């Protein structure tokens, strides 16, 4: 493929190649209840999904219902979620989410992005994750992997996640928007890592403009 191919053609090529390479790609955060997925999303900031899933087991064993979490001692919550890092801010965010869930949102996780983002610790990335995974709304999650690989491949010239999301939104069809984030994570973990990308083995090499 020519490095000068149109962005839309490159996007189609990349999406097809990733689907073929990673047919089972899915969200790596455990997803049992909507409110628990949202909490895991909050805990995932600057933390691995594996660590978040492990920590969440302890958190939800201690507080199996949001009402219990909303009424919890923040110091106890902080001790449980400490392995995820950023303890003070994440504790405040978890408590804020539990309180909004119980007292403002009628014990339901909102599908509205703006409403979700009124919660501490819920930015556009986590709001998109919630809307996509819980409600199937076609939203793109731009995490660290997605940011890196989409820039390298040539589907964006931006490094700001919000701008990257807008660029991808233009060229990724709705039916692939939720999946593309998961596929980007798989690509970033398996081939397109930050320091030593395996370009010679990469399944999207023929679509990539960078070939770093």
- Give the model confidence (pLDDT) of 84-94 as tens digits: 999 999 999 99
Say yes or no to pLDDT of 40 above 50.
Answer: yes
Q: What does the pLDDT read at residue 178?
A: 97
- As assigned by CATH, the class of the 34-135 domain is mainly alpha
- Look at the domain 7-26+139-207 and name its fold: Endonuclease Iii, domain 2 (1.10.1670)
Q: What does the pLDDT read at residue 127?
A: 97
pTM: 0.91
What are the start and end residues of each CATH 1.10.1670.10 domain in the chain? 7-26+139-207
Q: What does the pLDDT read at residue 115?
A: 97
Neighbour-count burial of 120, counting CB atoms closer than 10 A to its CB (0-12 exposed, 13-18 middle, 19+ buried):
middle
Q: Which of 185, 145, 142, 138 is CA-nearest to residue 26?
A: 185
**Mean pLDDT of the residues in the chain:** 95
Q: Are 181 and 24 in contact (CB under 8 A)?
A: no
What are the start and end residues of each CATH 1.10.340.30 domain in the chain? 34-135
Q: How many CA atoms lie within 13 A of 194 on its CB side?
A: 4
- Give the model confidence (pLDDT) of 151-198 as tens digits: 999 999 999 999 999 999 999 999 999 999 999 999 999 999 999 999
């Amino acid at each position: 493929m020519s490095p000068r191919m149109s962005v839309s053609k490159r996007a189609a090529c990349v999406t097809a190649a990733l689907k073929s390479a990673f047919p089972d790609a899915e969200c790596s955060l455990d997803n049992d209840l909507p409110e628990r997925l949202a909490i895991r999303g909050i805990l995932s900031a600057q933390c691995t999904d594996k660590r978040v899933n492990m920590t969440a087991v302890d958190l939800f064993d201690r507080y199996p219902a949001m009402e219990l979490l909303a009424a919890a001692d923040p110091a106890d919550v902080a001790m449980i979620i400490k392995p995820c890092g950023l303890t003070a801010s994440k504790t405040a965010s978890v408590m804020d989410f539990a309180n909004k869930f119980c007292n403002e949102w009628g014990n339901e996780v909102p599908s509205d992005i703006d409403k979700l983002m009124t919660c501490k610790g819920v930015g556009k990335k986590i709001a998109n994750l919630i809307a996509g995974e819980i409600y199937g709304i076609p939203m793109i999650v731009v995490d660290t992997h997605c940011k890196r690989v989409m820039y390298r491949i040539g589907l964006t010239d931006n490094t700001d996640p919000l701008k990257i999301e807008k660029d991808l939104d233009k060229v990724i069809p709705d039916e692939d928007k939720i999946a593309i984030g998961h596929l980007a994570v798989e690509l970033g973990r398996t081939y397109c890592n930050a320091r030593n990308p395996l370009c010679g083995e990469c399944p999207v090499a023929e679509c990539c403009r960078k070939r770093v």
